Structure formats: C-alpha cells, structure tokens
Amino acid sequence: MIIDAHGLRKTFTTRTRKGVQTVEAVRGIDLTVGKGEIFGVLGPNGAGKTTTVRMLATLIVPDAGEATVAGHDLRKEPGAVRRRLGYVSQTGGVEDGTSPRAQVMLAARLHGVPDPARRTQEALAAFDLTGVADRPGRTLSGGQRRRVALALGLVHAPALLFLDEPTTGLDPHNRANLWDRIQRLRESGTGVLLTTHYLEEADALCDRLIIVDQGVVVAEGTPAELKRRLAGDVVTLRVGDAATAREVLAPFAEEVRLDGDALRAYLDDGEHRLPAMLRALEEQNVPIRSISLDRATLDDVFLAKTGRSLRDAA
Ligand SMILES: Nc1ncnc2c1ncn2[C@@H]1O[C@H](COP(=O)(O)OP(=O)(O)O)[C@@H](O)[C@H]1O
Ligand SMILES: [Mg+2]
C-alpha cells in the first residue's frame, strides 16, 4: 500500500461579519491506494476532494484520523512523507513571468535532485515541452500549462503523485493527451491519486476509486464493480403518466427512479426484459414518448447513492 488512511476529518472555521461559520469539509474518509495504481476521488464541487488531498500531502493537518503515506506516518513523519511525493494543485502553479525551464529547475533544486539541469531537461521532454521551455509562462496554452505543472510535480521522481483536478478546463484533445501521460506513470510504477468531477475521467483512467459527497465516501470499488453492483442496465423512458408507469415497471426492475421528467429503471438483462416492460405499459394505456437502453454509468451510481446527478451537482 502506498496510502493507507482511516477516519480522516477536517472542519474549517471562518469568522465572517455574521459570526463564526464552521464547515465540516471531510467527515471521516478511509482510502487505500496500491503501488502503481491510479486511484480516483470522484465527487461534485465542495465534496471535500481538495481537502482530502491536502491532508494526505501534509499541507494541512487532519483534525482526526491516521494515515501511512509512502511508507511513513502522516502525523509523526510529515517531512519524510513530503519528500516522497509530488503535488499538483488544482490551479497549476505556472508563473507568468518565468519560463518552464527556470521553474522546473527551481523545483529540482528545492528537492535536492542530483544533476538538476539534466533532470529538468528530461522532465520537460517527457511532457513535450522542450519547444516552449524557454518562453515566459504567460505565453503558454492551457494544455501546456497543465503539462508544466505535471513536470513540476514529477521532476524529483516521487513514488506517489497527487493530481487535483488535473484536466479541469482542458479541451478534449489535451485531456486525452494528459490521460495518456498519467497512464504511462502507472507503467513506471508511480502511484497516482487524482481527484475529478468528470465521470468519464474516473471511468477511463482509474483502477479503483471512491465517490465522495459532502465529506463522506458513498461508494468504493473499480469502475466496473461500481456499475455492476448497481445493476448493469438502465432503461430511460419519457412517458405520458410517470406515476402510473413507475408502478407498472416496479416488478421488472431493481429500482425505478424519477429523474426530472424521465423515468430510470435499473435492472439486469435489459435487452430481454424490455419487450415485456413495453407490453405492460401498453396494457395500462401509458403513452411512451421515448425510450433508451444503456449500461449504467458512474453517474447512475452517484444518483442511486445520493439522489442527485453528479452532472447537476458539479
Ligand atoms: N480553507 C478553507 N476555509 C474554509 N472552508 C473551506 C476551506 N477549504 C475548503 N473549505 C470548504 O470545505 C468544503 C470542501 O471543499 P473542497 O475540499 O475544496 O471540495 P472539492 O475539492 O471537492 O471541491 C467546501 O464547502 C469548501 O467551501
Ligand atoms: Mg477541489
């Protein structure tokens, strides 16, 4: 295990004109990450993802909970933990006035990397930044900036890398490119813990993940396990009379939910049950406006656990 954490908690207290406000950002989170694994923390804005990562990266002290990170106790040996990890924050850390090379070089020196110039060159090359290495940060595109942030987090070859929302704001091309690079890190044996509010990202990239909401874990597993546990298929219907349709369909599905004006029925083996479902609706004179059959997504998992859609919540 490269991370083994139990019962992490953090409450923030802020003084405002209206008095003291407390926010229970993280309310008891457990997580374990294996060596060379890409582990995801998926959840909407405000779920407590950044706070969780900042605790594990020694940037803030938990109010409660224990963790071993990269072989060291988070509370007793924060310095040893810090030396073994890389941290890429949500906002990046690429300065406008300096070049990528100068910044990566500085990070290498701060970490006491032997032969920092050579390591800087390698880190820049690994992220395809050689061509822009000597330009001022302000002239870089969004995708290039994110890659510089990654090079900064990796220049000292950490055993464990924390990526907080690494692809937020990137276009699909740059996102795919970054996914590819993160996958290559796994091949090199680096442990990666990433946070995201993108379902597709968690699904495509993570070996295992937790889904968090309001500071607690609502589900945990591999993307495939999570989707399967909930039932494999979803039939989405738009009908004239949703209340009647819901009753008619209940015996066919493990769960039927009303999501806006759509009914979503969760079931195994949708292909074979669908004809009988349609016949039952017809017998009860429920007009069907549209119908689709899909595999359950991680959003369905989130919806089943919280009653909200992650797409709306994020
Ligand atoms: N330094 C802070 N002071 C006060 N409240 C904070 C602080 N950091 C985070 N919070 C609050 O804690 C909650 C969780 O925030 P965060 O961990 O940033 O969530 P996420 O990264 O999932 O969007 C939010 O309600 C946020 O406003
Ligand atoms: Mg965040």
For domain 231-295, give its CATH number from 3.40.190.10, 1.10.10.10, 3.40.50.300, 3.30.70.980. Answer: 3.30.70.980
Looking at residue 296, what is its pLDDT?
Answer: 87
Is the distance from CB of 312 to CB of 262 less than 8 angstroms?
Answer: no
CATH 3.40.50.300 residue ranges for the chain:
3-222
From the CA of 278, how far away is ligand 2's center (Å)? 43
Would you tell me how many other CB atoms lie within 10 Å of the CB of residue 268? Answer: 12
Q: How confident is the model at residue 287 (pLDDT cuts 50, 70, 90)?
A: very high
pLDDT digits (tens, 9 = 90+) for 138-173: 999 888 998 899 899 999 989 999 999 998 878 888
Dump pLDDT digits (tens) for 89-111: 888 767 889 999 999 999 999 99
Edge-to-edge strand list for the sheet holding 208-213? 85-88, 160-164, 191-196, 38-42, 208-213, 216-221
Question: Is residue 25 lining ligand 1, measured as CB closer than 6 Å?
Answer: yes
Q: Which atom of ligand 1 is nearest to the CA of 165?
A: 21
Tokens of 100: 């990528």
Encode pLDDT of 239-262 as tens digits: 989 999 999 999 999 889 888 889
Record the pTM: 0.86
Verify whether ligand 1 is closer than 6 Å to residue 51 (CB atom): yes
Instruction: Please give the CATH architecture assigned to the domain spanning 3-222.
Output: 3-Layer(aba) Sandwich (3.40)
- Both tokens assigned to 12: 């923030």
pLDDT digits (tens, 9 = 90+) for 303-314: 888 888 887 765
Whether ligand 1 lies within 6 angstroms of the CB of 50 is answered as yes
Residue nearest to atom 13 of ligand 1 (CA): 25
2-58 tens-digit pLDDT: 999 999 999 999 998 889 999 999 999 999 999 889 999 999 999 999 999 999 999
The amino acid at 266: Y
Pairing of strands 208-213, 38-42: parallel
Render the burial of 18-52: b for 16+ CB within 10 Å, e for the rest.
eeeeeeebbbebebbbeebbbbbbbbbebbbbbbb
